[in-house]
Amino acid sequence: MDETTYDILLFVNGIKERIAKAHGSQCGFCTPGFVMSMYTLLRNNPQPTEEDIEDACEGNLCRCTGFRPILDGFKTFSKSYCCKKELLESERQAQENDLDCKLYKLSDLMDYDPSQDLIFPPELLVLKDKPAESLQINGNNITWFRPSSLDELLLLKREYPKAKLVIGNTEVGIETKFKDISYPIITSPSEILDLNTEKHTNEGIEIGGCVSLSKMNKILSDAIEKLPEYKTRTFTAIVEMLRWFASRHVRNVGSIVGNIMTASPISDLNPLFLASKSKVYIQSAGNEKKVVTMDESFFTGYRRTRLDDDEVVISILIPFTAENEYVLGFKQARRRSDDISIVNAGMRVIIEKSSKQSTHIVKDCTLSFGGMAPTTVIARRASSSLIGREWNKDLTELIIPLLNEDIPLSFSTPGGMVEYRKALACSFFFKFYLTVTSRLLPPEDLAAAEIPTSYLSATSVFKKDPTRSIQVFEKPDPNQPDNDALRRPMVHTSALKQATGEAVYCDDMPKFENELFAGLVLSQRAHAIIESVDYKDALSMPGVHSHVTADDIKGFNSFGVIQPDDEELFATKEVTCIGQMIGVILADTKESAIKAAKAVRVVYKDLTAILTIEEAIQANSFYPFDNNIQVEDIEQEIEKSDRVLEGDIRIGGQEHFYLEPQSCLALPKLESGEMEIFAPIQGPSLLQESACRVLGVPLNKVVCRVKRLGGGFGGKESRTLLVGIATSVSAQKSKRPVRCVLDRDIDMSTTGTRHPYLFNYKIGFSTSGVINALHLRMYANCGNSLDLSPAVMQRSVLTCSSCYRIPHFEISSYLCKTNIPSNTAFRGFGSPQGVFAMETILSEIAVDCGITQLQVREINLFQDGDITHYDDVVEESRAQLVLNEVIRRSDFHRRQIDIESYNRENRWMKRGISVIPLGYPIGYPIKFMNQGAALVMIYTDGSILLNHGGVEMGQGLHTKMTQICSHILEVPAEKIHMIETNTSNVPNSVQTAASMTTDLSGGAVVNACEKLRDRIKPYQEANPKGKWEDWIRAAYFDRVNLSANGFYSVPGLVPDSKGNKGKTYLYRTFGAAVSEVEIDTLTGDFHPLRTDIVMDIGKSLNPAVDIGQIEGGFIQGMGLFTLEEHGFSSSGYLLTRGAGTYKIPSSNDIPNEFYVYLLPNVPNKRAVYSSKGIGEPPLVLGLSVLFAIKDAITAARQDAGVGNAFRLDSPATCERIRMACNDHITASFHEALQLPICDNKAQSRLSLTNNNRRDVLRE
């Protein structure tokens, strides 16, 4: 650590040090955001609890780590956590003997001293108590007012009645950036005292319109603590809803009235305000004052209220509740925290005892819903129909048809999920009824009300316990020298720089004096002829320099990974997806370039667009692909089996959601056509080669440089070429540096995703569940170009069997050519889709045979000597070993019994558990890609510069290479530095992918370092008491070459002279996971309670890095299989194009208990220092969560008296979970989303009806 970095760490008082030393920074792009969230918490609460720390982080996203190490590092600020951690680690250490469970030591962390924190500038604090001054800021297209008094605000409203009022800018910022809405006048009343008040009255609490949601939460929470419970039931409902309202970051700036006046139909608070009959105090520019009760007339249309343009909401009165009045709020979103609602509700009822004192009568009722109409609505008929009725279970049946009449949803309703949304509305009322009744009646009277105690699970409020975790790994050799870094949990070499914000990413590079910014001109049609393109208006805009089209290309206007002419760089005659590049606008600033790009006029002639797999099948739209596996007489083999099943399986796409967007900086040189390209790409040589093809120059004229990636996951393997080549062509034409950085929405809508798949299967097996023969058809939605789809499909074909033996296995595969952006590589590269299909088939075999899910997997595990369907011999299989170990460590069988007991006692909350084993082949099935190179240079001061062909994208590759170098040369890791990946230092490198780069680059580093070690050895022997620096200088003066290139090629992949035919994959990484989940059967909400993972990764080079990959991969896999849903409109427009609409797991979604165990004493002779590839396999183990959900659904269906065979596609979203839990509510809706598994030996046909058009949202 250099002195500057250490000073910065001291300056921030250890916050950044802790996230780094706890291994919570991988790619590092998200790290400063987490650091600032933690800093804010500590400035306000120097002694936080574990819960405080987890709450503070829930608004930050990370795609790499799985969140566990981030939370673990920050929780060291909690004294109680540190005590528990030391106790837990000590107990586990005593159990594990020679294994270790400490990835870092608490004693190595600096003590926290709040007095040393960086504080808010005192010179600005003195302004806090001064009266606010009026402010006016005039921009080019906007004027911003900040009035200091209510009178001034009303005057501005009179002058500018259409002006937008903003407090936190949480909604207007989105509208202006992503919806291109322009507001020429914006007024911010945030500093007006009259709008920041709090007043307690006899009627309730009146809160000023500019009060933030966080402050309102505190006001109401304080009232709940001080006042009688019955008076604060509305407050309690609001506070509970605010737990899941956006994130703390948003709640800190968003205001209560801002939320009301946005008039969003899915506002979480407005249903509660309507249900509770809250009142708003309004004042007009004419100084007219009035009080309006929020009722069904308040919202007059989509994003509209009954207020006139010159009126302002001064405050809102939230009323107290009466003793016999009950108010509750409900919300269901795709992700529990920091997500917008699918449906939400506010419900209020006043109940009186009848004169007979034995029944309760509804005196008043309001049922309000969001997400069911263009506005927040009150179900008037349902609400009024309840008044005067007895409060009993019959109401839950009565309410279903009434709600359907009040809030009908047509098939074409925006947002889809019609049946699910209807079911949610009814489920919310059912929960409301049970909750109110449980509070209304003493426990002993519930049975008389026909409410079994098992029903009370529907009334529980979700509360996540703080995360617990243990990581167990093998200790390094006790005889290993202290300065030898190999096999130690060494901190990521860039972690400290990433934590302090010093780490440089592509867009952090300083701006060049004459730099231009590139804005992409993108197609707005899924499939169309380009009739004309007019750049005239765009070129006349201020700041615009020029434009770039196919006419400016000196080489070829095409590129591709597998086929060089796979796709056009700039579309010339035809566009084949929305988001395809047509040209580039070059301007002085990013804003000017983007604005001008949108001004380019393109005239299209629309053609028929194919969007889904079903449409591609119907139109016979496929790319050529013949890498199938055929078995003679497969149908006969299947039919002669004891039992036969057929069915369909679907898995959707997945957005990479790397936090650093696609970007590039191209720097043209003034001679010989030379150029430097800086880009975050996994294959710098691939960009070099592709750019040169388009630029029309040889490879030796272009250098591609990569410092680090802010996440990649396969999304920066080939699709970065789009931005990289376009930027390079722009630089070549303009002869000026050109930078291009995509906004998140453009990135997501142009660069593709993981391939969605559809599977058709027919399988034959014995009565005991042993597989005999399988015919599997695979359809992948590839998009508008081939890209890497053949390789992805090949990986699916070869690895779908995972660790299972299938004696007769025929695979037919199809690459569907569609009009969506080209899908591409993603962590796992086709394996997750194929393994999901296999595990689903096994699950159905178990149901059909009446055996357990574990039994069907154990009896089909392959053994050493078995032959795979691609003719590799299985060797050193540890599938049974990891399976046995995870079952033992997770206490699987006892927990199964506990879960069965829990499910008997709880009707509406169910738990499930699942165990999934995995055998994951490592490597490239293409011979030439199994090579790596390195260059190691020793300088005369003894410092070492390490170069290799791999790219650091958070996976700790450079860290492991440093450790290998340290081990061989016997020097401390601090002496070794890795500047960047550079095609001029290590040429012709293969892409960093396939969990293989440690093997390839590591082998090359070993080769280079051993050469240097051998050259230095004579000088060590001549001067055994000397130091490293002495030996280096002696060698230098003796004219010894102190640089060495290394090379490594994977052995055993080709036939040899002994008759060995070679292997497709050299070895497998084995793993197994047990996951337990809890689902709410009435909403589809779920949460993982515990996950245990056991991995065979050989002998780990760095346990901290490897465990980080395991945890991060698992959570990303859990997102793929349960949460992340990709959607297009029927015109081919991507609907999920940002964090607001596409949800990856958050820190609130990880298991409460998260345990990782690295299998000891399992060296791997086929890779560098006995290690194994680990980047991709853990992702597939996320399947354990999906099948645990399926197990819980099965328990719910058993209670409902329906069959155990049902279809659960991936992702297992809350919608799919709810609609699979058949009950009296879902039975009311005729069109079910879940399709039954076909009966034994029944025929299954691929449905190609028009109804599949709605599946666009699933692709």
Catalytic residue IDs = 1176
d(CA 738, CA 667): 7
Q: Residue type at 224?
A: I
Are the CB atoms for 462 and 1078 separated by under 8 Å?
no
- What is the widest separation between alpha-carbon atoms in the chain? 109
d(CA 858, CA 997): 32
1055 φ/ψ angles, rounded to the nearest 5 degrees: -60, 145
Residue 232 is encoded by which pair of tokens?
């604060």
Residue 383 is encoded by which pair of tokens?
């609400």
The SS3 of residue 849 is helix
Handedness of CA 792, 794, 796, 802 (dihedral sign): negative
Q: What is the DSSP letter of 804?
A: B
Q: How many residues are present in the chain?
A: 1259
Are the CB atoms for 607 and 529 separated by under 8 Å?
yes
Residue 1128 is encoded by which pair of tokens?
């297009």
CB within 8 Å of 1018: residues ≥ 6 apart:
none
The SS3 of residue 1123 is coil
Reference 1000, options 683, 681, 680; nearest CA is 683
The SS3 of residue 154 is helix
d(CA 275, CA 267): 13
CA-to-CA separations, 14 to 7, 84, 259, 748, in angstroms, rounded: 10, 21, 37, 36
d(CA 1081, CA 1060): 55
First and final C-alpha spacing in the chain = 47
The full 3-state SS of 285-352, as one line of letters, equals CCCCEEEEECCCCCEEECCEECCCCCEEEEEEEEECCCCCEEEEEEEEECCCCCCCEEEEEEEEEEEE
Angle at 12 between CA 10 and CA 13, to 5 degrees: 60
Handedness of CA 548, 553, 558, 560 (dihedral sign): negative
Placement of tokens 């080019």 in the chain: 140
Q: What is the DSSP letter of 822?
A: P
Reference 586, options 679, 672, 518; nearest CA is 518
**Residue 120: other Cβ atoms inside 10 A:** 10
Q: Could you tell me how far CA 345 lies from the centroid of its own chain?
A: 27
d(CA 679, CA 664): 5
The SS3 of residue 771 is strand
Handedness of CA 194, 198, 201, 205 (dihedral sign): positive
Are the CB atoms for 260 and 280 separated by under 8 Å?
yes
Reference 325, options 347, 345, 351, 346; nearest CA is 351
Are the CB atoms for 617 and 1138 separated by under 8 Å?
no
Residue 362 is encoded by which pair of tokens?
């509804």
- Cross-strand partners of 917: 1072
The SS3 of residue 879 is helix
Which ranges constitute the DSSP H helices of 956-996? 957-969
- Cis peptide bond N-terminal to 1211, omega within 30: yes
